[in-house]
Amino acid sequence: MARYASPDSTRAAGAGRALRKVLRPVLRVAERLKSRLLAPRMDFLATDGTPASRWRLLARQVALPVTIMVVVAAFDLSVPDTVFYPFLLLAPTLACATAPPLAVLAIGCASLPLRYLLAHHDGYLASEFDQLFQVSTWMYVLATALSMYLSAVRIRRERELVAVTKVATAAQRAILMPPPAEYGGLRFAVRYFAVADEAELGGDLYLALDTPYGPRILIGDVLGKGLGAVRTAAITIGAFREAAYDEVDLVDIARRIEASLQRNAPAERFVTALLVEVRSDHVIFVHRGHEQPVLVTADGRARVLDPPEPGVPLGLGDLDTVAPRSWGEPFREGDLLLLVTDGVSDARNESGMSYPVADRINALVGGRAPAEPAVAVERLGEDLLRFAGRRRMTDDALMVGLARKPSESG
C-alpha cells in the first residue's frame, strides 16, 4: 500500500535537506576543531595574557556556535513555511568542543530569546503547541547544562594531557641529547625534525659512545608514537649503553638489546636500528631493519651501503631464523657517513613522491670537496623541508652525519 506524504511532511523534508547542505561546511569545521583537540596546543594556553589576545581567543572559541545561530535564524526567517528553530540546539552542544563552560552558558542564554523569537515567527507559541514548546525548552536547558559539564571535562583532560606531554617531551629530549661536535676522534652533526604533535611524540633515537673498541653509534626508530614509543626508545638506549662497553662484536650488542626489549618493552613494539662501529680505516655495521647508510667519499662519490644480510627489527628477532652478520666498508679521512631514519625517506611532496634520499645527498653533497658533517646535515635538512614541508611530513625525521677529524699532520 502506498504511503501518503502530507504537504507538511514534504516541506519539512525539503527544509531538512536544505539545512543539511548549509550546515555541512559548518560540520566540517567542527571536525577540524575536534581533531585539533588532540594536540596539546590547547586553547586555554594559546594566549599571551594580554586583553587583545584574550578577546581573539574568545572569538575563536565561540565562532562555530555563533555561526550556527546566524545560519539557523537566517533560514528560519527567509524560507517560508519552514521550522528551523529546533536546530539552535546545535549551538551550545557544539560549543562544548571549543569553548569553556562560561562561554557555553553564554551561548545557551543568548540562544534562548532567539529561540523564542523564531518560534513566535513560525507560529509555534500558539496554545496547541504550548506543551510541546515547554518540553523542548526544558530539553534545551538540560542540553546546555550537559554541554557545560562536557566542556569542563574536556578542559580538565586537556590540562592533564599537557602535563603528561611535558614529561614525555623531557624524556624524549633526554633520549635525543646531541653529542659533542667532536667525540672519539669523530666530528658529529645531528638534525631532528619533530613534525608530529607533541601529544604523539615519535620514537626516533640515537646515541654515540666512545668505547674501548672504538666509537659506537646507534640510530633507530621505534614503531608507533606516544609515551610507549618514548619508553621503548629509553630501553633501547639503556641496553646499548651497557652492552657497547662490554661486548666485542656489534652482533652481540644487538642480541642484548633484543633481549632487553623482549623483557621490558611494551607489547607489540619493535625498533628498526643500525649499529655502527668506527675502526682505524673502516666502519662496521649491523643492520636491523633500518634505512641504509649513505657514504660520501673524499672524492665526492655518494654510495648507498646496502647490507649483504638485512636483519629484522629489534624486538622481532624470534621471526629471523638466521642472525644477521656484521659487514664492513672503507671509511677514511675526508669521507662522510650519513645516517637517517625512515621519516626522511617517507616524506612526500605535493605530488605524492617520496623524498629520494640517495639522489638528494648525491646532488647536495656529492661531487664536491669533503663537506663538514654540520654543513651536510644542514644542507640536507633544508632541502627536505623545501621538498615536503613540515605539514606534509608524516613522521619525525632524524639525520646524523659523521666524519673523521683531520689528522694533526694534515
Tell how far CA 194 is from the center of its chain: 8
- Distance, in Å, from the CA atom of 26 to the CA atom of 34, rounded to the nearest integer, reads 12
Total residue length of the chain: 410
| pLDDT band of 199, cuts 50, 70, 90 | very low
Quick one: average pLDDT of 17-45? 45
Those residues whose C-beta lies under 8 Å from the C-beta of residue 74, and which sit 6 or more positions away, are none
How much is the average pLDDT of 26-34? 47
Instruction: Please report which confidence band the pLDDT of residue 338 belongs to, taking 50, 70 and 90 as the band edges.
Output: very high
Q: Residue 197 has what pLDDT?
A: 52
* Alpha carbon distance 87, 76 (integer Å): 10
How confident is the model over 232-237, as a mean pLDDT? 90
Tell me the residue ranges of DSSP E strands in 171-270: 182-183, 186-193, 204-211, 214-222
Cα gap 151→30, rounded to integer Å:
15
Residue 201: all three cell numbers together: 611524540
Written as nine digits, the cell of 390 is 613540515
> Which whole-number Å values give the CA distances from 69 to 28, 42, 147, 348, in the listed order?
16, 25, 16, 41
**Between 262 and 390, residue with greater pLDDT:** 262
Per-residue burial over 314-329, b if 16 or more Cβ lie within 10 Å, else e, is bbbbeebeeebebeee
User: Does residue 167 have a pLDDT over 80?
Assistant: no
DSSP state of 369: S
Q: What is the pLDDT of residues 75-117, one digit of tens each?
A: 888 888 778 888 888 888 888 888 888 888 988 888 888 888 8
Angle between helices 250-264 and 227-246 (to 10 degrees): 140
In 3D space, the residue among 384, 341, 392 whose CA is nearest the CA of residue 229 turns out to be 341
What's the mean pLDDT in 334-354? 87
- Answer whether 235's CB lies under 8 Å from 266's CB: no
Q: Residue for cell digits 611524540?
A: 201
Task: Supply φ then ψ for residue 272, to 5 degrees.
Answer: -80, 135
Average confidence (pLDDT) over 278-296: 92
Lowest mean pLDDT among 79-88, 132-141, 341-350: 79-88
Q: What is the pLDDT at residue 169?
A: 64
pLDDT digits (tens, 9 = 90+) for 215-227: 999 999 988 777 7
Range ranked top by mean pLDDT from 199-203, 351-355, 386-390, 398-402:
398-402
Residue 4 confidence (pLDDT): 40
Of 24-28, 250-254, 334-338, 367-371, minimum mean pLDDT range: 24-28
Burial class (CB in 10 A: 0-12, 13-18, 19+), 158: buried
pTM of the model: 0.61
Reply yes or no on whether the pLDDT at 39 is more than 50. Answer: no
- Output the pLDDT for position 37: 41
Of the listed ranges 68-72, 196-200, 224-228, the one predicted with least confidence: 196-200
Buried b (16+ CB within 10 A) or exposed e, 281-308: eebbbbbbbbbbbbbbbeebebbebebe
pLDDT at 50: 62
Q: What is the pLDDT of residue 323?
A: 73
Residue 21 has pLDDT above 60, yes or no: no
CB 347, CB 384: distance < 8 Å: yes
The pLDDT of residue 246 is above 80: yes
Q: Which of 114, 98, 108, 110 is nearest to 58 (CA)?
A: 98
Range with the largest mean pLDDT of 119-128, 161-170, 243-252, 398-407:
243-252
Record the cell numbers describing residue 90, joined without a space: 546545535
* C-alpha cell of residue 178: 646531541
Q: Which range among 81-90, 167-176, 399-408 shows the weakest confidence by mean pLDDT? A: 167-176
Over 80: is that where the pLDDT of 260 sits? yes
pLDDT average, residue stretch 233-257: 92
Q: Does position 42 have pLDDT exceeding 50, yes or no?
A: no
